[in-house]
Amino acid sequence: MKKLLLFIMSLSLCLLPACKGEAPEFSDPWGSALVIQVDKGGIVVVDDQNGTAVMPMPRWISFESEELGTELLPGMTVELAGGSGSILLTSPAHIDPEHIMAVDYDGGLIGLYWDVLAELEGRGPELDKDTSSVCIDLHNAANLPFGAAGAITWCANDLFGREVLGGTFSSLNDSGRLSGEELRWEDGVFLEVKTEDMAEDSFTLICTKQRSREEKLSMTVKAERDGGLWTWREAQQ
């Protein structure tokens, strides 16, 4: 829970406007992207051309409608304009728009996944003993937008404070990271979040934290959308 609160506090830093004063008219966008994470150091997004990309905090942040509010949040779709428009093809890519405009919001879906991952990672501290790595498996999180799972996994290095990998429990075994009959990961812990019972305004998340075949815990989350916003609660076992 402490890690979750610290993470939320870090996200709250993005609520300050990037630049004081009225932004100029938004014009000539050269791209669009989905916001995955926002902090004082900049913004992590997924765009169609580059996949995961990072950008410094732009000079201006605008919002297309009052319904979108005045806070840049994970899950917002933004259009990109100004700056050099150049793309540094590193991994992740680097882009440098001067002005971005929020044009849509997913109702908190990306934020929900952040909350659930932080809650799951904080459970069962005995599973974390002597670990230096975390592997996140979101490939069965079927309602995440394309590319979002990889971007969340990349960002989680900051949240968890350990090396973060993406993959499945089977891929960990195939790569030789697991040992013994119990397939124990001696220096890491595995997190899996997958969707079930998907409907227009609800879904279930089956969450697992695992060190070996036997050393694991599970958490079931019920998510619902009301008034356009997603909320979640842990289901009764």
Give the range among 64-73, 82-91, 193-202, 203-212 with minimum mean pLDDT. 82-91
Residue 78 tokens, joined: 């933004």
Residue 111, pLDDT score: 97
Assess whether pLDDT exceeds 50 at residue 10.
no
Written as one letter, the residue type at 114 is W
Cβ-Cβ contacts under 8 Å for 41 (sequence gap 6 or more): 56, 57
CATH architecture of the region 2-105: Beta Barrel (2.40)
Residue 48, pLDDT score: 78
Query: In terms of Cα–Cα distance, which of 18, 79, 20, 15 is closest to 45?
Result: 79
Residue 15, pLDDT score: 43
Q: What number of other Cβ atoms are within 10 A of residue 28's Cβ?
A: 9
Query: In terms of Cα–Cα distance, which of 192, 194, 188, 233 is closest to 209?
Result: 192
Query: In terms of Cα–Cα distance, which of 96, 77, 74, 98 is closest to 33?
Result: 77
Averaged pLDDT score across all residues of the chain: 89
The stretch 203-219 carries a mean pLDDT of 98
| Residue-range domain boundaries for the chain | 2-105, 109-234
Residue 215, pLDDT score: 98
Backbone angles phi, psi at 117, to 5 degrees: -60, -45
Q: How confident is the model at residue 40 (pLDDT cuts 50, 70, 90)?
A: confident
What pTM was computed for the model? 0.88
Q: How confident is the model at residue 16 (pLDDT cuts 50, 70, 90)?
A: very low
Residue 212 tokens, joined: 């070996």
Q: How confident is the model at residue 85 (pLDDT cuts 50, 70, 90)?
A: low
Cβ-Cβ contacts under 8 Å for 132 (sequence gap 6 or more): 162, 163, 187, 188
Q: Of all residues in the chain, what percent carry a pLDDT higher than 90?
A: 78
Residue 20, pLDDT score: 42
Q: How confident is the model at residue 88 (pLDDT cuts 50, 70, 90)?
A: low
Q: Of all residues in the chain, what percent carry a pLDDT higher than 70?
A: 88
Query: In terms of Cα–Cα distance, which of 62, 53, 58 is closest to 102?
Result: 62
Backbone angles phi, psi at 79, to 5 degrees: -95, 150
Residue 219, pLDDT score: 97
Q: Which DSSP state fits 228?
A: T
The stretch 22-28 carries a mean pLDDT of 86
Q: How confident is the model at residue 6 (pLDDT cuts 50, 70, 90)?
A: very low
The stretch 107-127 carries a mean pLDDT of 97
Radius of gyration of the chain (CA): 19
Assess whether pLDDT exceeds 50 at residue 107.
yes
Residue 21, pLDDT score: 52
